[in-house]
Structure 1
């Protein structure tokens, strides 16, 4: 009567099976969640490494593999990565914003403060892309409030760089330059050449926008030097474009045209049309200034077409403003008005301070030319309000001081000296020289002591982190090897106990039939042939089973297993020698398994591809570790040509040894054989 009574044997059995399948399902779900988390982390890291195309491809494959409907609204990382792809690969900023907000809600509910900070920072990036700088500053500051507790982490200084960019767009050039100087010092300590080059470029941009041409050019040229060394095509393209602006503002149109064309050439090499917009606009400007109006219009129209195709709203209105400016200069005010009006309206909604000043003034010129003086006057008044905020003499002086201070630091290696001239004068006074020198020594000693203490703490923290990462890697390695070997053993066991038993039984039955058949009859010959085929199949099955999990490896260890394997390979024209030193004690089971698989793979490669007559294997264990060398006298290959064409075999060897933290070296040349050297 009862459904699951302990007195009912059938029901009890059913309940056991239900529990079993529930546990099996939970285990599978747990493994699936790990795969999902790992995959999303991989895509996240690809975006961080600027491998946007590869990240988009991986995400597309991810969405095709997993049921993303189950992740929606539950998995914060899924929404975060989806937003990254939308923002970086597709330029779909509005979609990215929605996905970031979903991710933010999930992480906030989970009280995951670090992820909340990362999402806030990325939402700030989207607002920057949409020219919503006030909103961007709010989210960047939220992120900074968390990361400032960890000033040694790179996320902190990256957030500082994002805020510097916002201030640059808002016209606060002094604040922007100060933050970029902080950004520069951080990466100078890290000796990160790429980021130092980026900092030089950004600082140059701040001085450029502030019309401090000399300082801007100096920082741009430093950025060029680094980016040429790194072969940074996109970075060089941007720097050349800005050097063109500096030369144009310095009254050197020919130099400006040279740099703009170099920027345009590099933009074409990237295959990204949107990179062509800025150099095209600037070529239009310089040709307009040199009265070559037809060329100017041609470049403007090229830029406008790309802006529309790529959906680049901000740059589109820059083009419109420039076209309007050209028509104003030709006193064709009717033609100018639709362009200058559209640009002015955009600037009031989304433009930077600099945009507002320039676009409104340009619109006022068009209105005045059409005798709409009242409207023109209103536009000029609005422009003046924004100009008062933008052009601040005090800011310009402070920016000059900031640049000079950085240069002094670089030359003298003195940090935070606020009044250098006073200090030099005091140093020159003989009566205070001893006191001053003593103070310097004390300060330096104190600073050095603080540095040693902080450095020691930092080293300990880094050491702990490295150890944790190493432990995690080792654990992951063991789990991976466990899983692979369990599967091999399962297949080997199934072959031996399942297929092997059936083949053995079939062999016995066909033998009985053969013995009971008249000798030399057609049936007798057929059963004879069947016996031969079954025997060969059985032997082949045993061979495959043994290769997947050799008994010698399980029982006697690596050396015996390799010897057993090579005895089978050595028959025929290939002469095989094996030297084993220092393996009196068995290795760790996982290490033995990996090395056996590597030897198996390498020897099979020699047999299949090398056309060798001799094969030598040395396996040596000493105080420095374990070394494995496999050398043949075969036809070899061109190592340089093979770098990008490694087959599955070599890749398998590299990946297996890498999992154990070892190294793989291959030395080969055509006609001179191949040497594979492995060290653990």
Structure 2
């Protein structure tokens, strides 16, 4: 896993909130059930333990708990509720609101003389300042929390403080002190028997060792975290450990796929788009490293889709939280107004409607702004996805072309060193045989001479084909000179060819030059094989913007409207090269009217 994400896992309890029950309306809860401090504390603890699922409903529940604590005049419970609501704001990136809530909670805890609550809030304030990039202020509050925790022997709070120290040092790239504090956290959690906290912290320690290149210790803590998470019945942390173990095996040049695929299956099952995006990216990069571009593209697309879903989910959560804040404040205001009947009676209907209208207008404006922000993020994400897709297509096209050129090289070598040598040996042996044999008949001598001539011609043909197939032959003299050399070798009695070039005084980039040569060579071969032409003219011009090529013949022609339906290997190879060069190719032809091929390749 990413190091910051790994360390953040153990910090979740520091700013956790509650998980509301599905469909719960906080203001409709039975107030008699929460008439005692123990019941309100249980509600706050429930919020504390399960806040990630639905921040908006969690905010409703914690607001309800705060109101009940206020009715009971219990400062500790009020402080706890405010601390939790501030944590929701922090998790949603609303750090200024988070600080306001934490400071209000701090005053209540200090007034109540609650050392545990005071130390915990000081720790949370330090963490928020670190998130804002104000590390000096963050460390100041963490030191205050540490001193209070040590003085009052608050080991659990001390573990949270050390975890935030570790996170702060990680953010500044100081991994050794980050590791030292993470190990202190493990020691305290082990003493307190907190298996889940130990499991999450073990992933963090492993991640720090991983980035320090101490891979064996990284694996040791990844595996420890996995086993502890199994004991704590926390499948999310188990599968996060599997991802980490997969990354360990990958750096050790071993197969990580069983671990990645198992984790991917779990996170897809629970619809966790964040981790689906992360592990699918890992699998895509693994396949790309193995040269399996088809599988790499498949998992890359899965990662992009999950990333887009995660962005949308976060935007919806933020929008729901804004709406919840508005509705909660509105309902609490209504309750306060109902308790002041004299004040309500003095309000005119027009004034009340105006107030409601203003509030509704502000809410509508907030919703519009949130919607515009979400749409903007969506457009950016789609643009990024399109850019990445184009990059992947370039990679695949390059791989196909490289594979073809390698195969050309192999075949050319086989022809030159294998078949060519055999033909040379046959020619030599036949020459020696004919020298030993006396041929009295003229027809025998003619047949022998003709056979030797055919063998000699075959040797030349094999050499010529092998030279043409070599992938880098075009690099010898430049595309203009090599095209002319290629044309000169074609029988002018059958097909008269002319070549005009302009602007090729300086050499092009070798890969572009090689591919363009292959495109034109394939086009010439198609004319020879299919067009039945007697004349062929090639015009090749290079400008500052790009390269234009025109290939015209007087052959039988074809229906150019059906060019896209042709399935020849040569044509497909041409299209692949054109796509890689980001160029274009157009066919202009009709039966009996010859063919013109226009090629354009941009030059960076």
Q: Using structure 1 for the length normalisation, give the TM-score.
A: 0.37
Larger RCO of the pair (alpha carbons < 8 Å, separation 6+): 2
